[in-house]
Structure formats: structure tokens, C-alpha cells
A and B are shown apart, each in its own frame.
Chain A
């Protein structure tokens, strides 16, 4: 099973600042099959990025994903108030599908 480790656990930032979130895999993710999700309080997760770098439908351009192999990054430029949430990475290159533990982006 591939273990995904997200860092940092919490990111304290102000609106307008940029955020860089990391997701590291215990072994190489096949075909860079990695997704990022956003979960706001009390809501279901929402797909942001798939295949490591492809934005999902209707996701703003300030969200971008990069990386390959074992190291992946989600970047949010110019944080908007609605971006303060928890972010999860997920690999789907091998079974079982696994999620990272999440990074909380909170208002500083």
C-alpha cells in the first residue's frame, strides 16, 4: 500500500498570500495518478486536480498541481477567503487507493 504523507499539517496564512502544499508518496505513483481535493467545514470533498496537474471542471486558475514520482505539490496563488479549508492528496495508480492525512490552510 502506498502511504501518502502531507506537509505541513497546518498552514497559517493571510488572504492574498500564496500557499504551497506537499504530498510525498512512500513509493512512486504509477503514471503520476495523483489527485488533490478540497474539503470545507461541514462539506464533502471537492476534486481540484487530477493526473497530478490537470485542473478539474470549474476550478479556478489560482490552483495548480505539479510533481511526479514520489513528490507532488499543490500551489494556491493569492488565497481567497473560500480557500481556507483542508486539502487532501490521493493516489489512484495502485490498489488500494490511498489518501494523505491532509493539510489545513487556516487564516492567520
Chain B
């Protein structure tokens, strides 16, 4: 069974940093791009970033470019999102999701709250 489990969410002050993790299981991790998608409270979905199976093909949305860094550890079957210079607009649920095109499996999400 494919599973994606996010962790690392929490409360952080404006200007601070946070690192999210996504643990993957049930599939050959290196065969897949993995994405980060977020959802602000009561809002829609926003695609943020993806990374190829061997850390190639990295792409960011303009809204996070230069502040967020995506990475993966293929030994640990894990994906990461380093988030710096956080602001209130970054508050939301962050999902990791599998797929280079459509997203066929999603984690349950990690809540990030940016507030003083």
C-alpha cells in the first residue's frame, strides 16, 4: 500500500523557519517525482514544488522560489521542504503528493501556522 506521511508542522513566528518531512512507503521511491502542495485555511490548492527521483528536475512556484528548498533522501525514502522567511501567508496545510503529472497519492497533510 502506498503511504505518504508528513511531519514537522507547527507554530512558527513570522520570519522564522521550519522543515517539513514526508516519509514514503509501499512503492519504489526513486521512480517517482514527489510534490509539495499547500492549502490555506478555507482556500483551494496551491502547487508549490516538485523534485525528480534523483533530485533532478526541481521546480518551484514563484510564491516560494528563493525561500523554500525541496530535497529528498532516497536511502530514507523521505522528502523534505525547508521553509525560510515565513510569513502569515504561508499558513496552511502542506501535503506531499506523488506524481510527475497528475498526483495519484497524497499524504494526510501537516499544518503550518505562522503567527506571533
Contact (Cβ within 8 A) B108 A92: no
Would you call A99 and B104 a contact (CB within 8 A)? no
Against A, the Cβ 8 Å flags (1 = close, 0 = not) of B50-73 are 100000000101100000000000
Query: From residue 71 to 108 of chain A, which have CB atoms closer than 8 A to chain B?
Result: 88, 90, 92, 95-102
8 chain-A/chain-B pairs, Cβ below 8 angstroms: A44-B107, A47-B103, A47-B105, A90-B47, A96-B61, A98-B47, A99-B47, A100-B44
Are B59 and A45 in contact (CB-based, < 8 A)?
Answer: no
Residues on A close to B: CB < 8 A? 33, 35, 37, 39, 43-47, 50-51, 56-57, 88, 90, 92, 95-102
Contact check: which of A51, A96, A100 meets B59 at CB < 8 Å?
A: A96
B95 and A45 form a contact (CB under 8 A): yes
Chain A neighbourhood of B35, CB < 8 A: 97
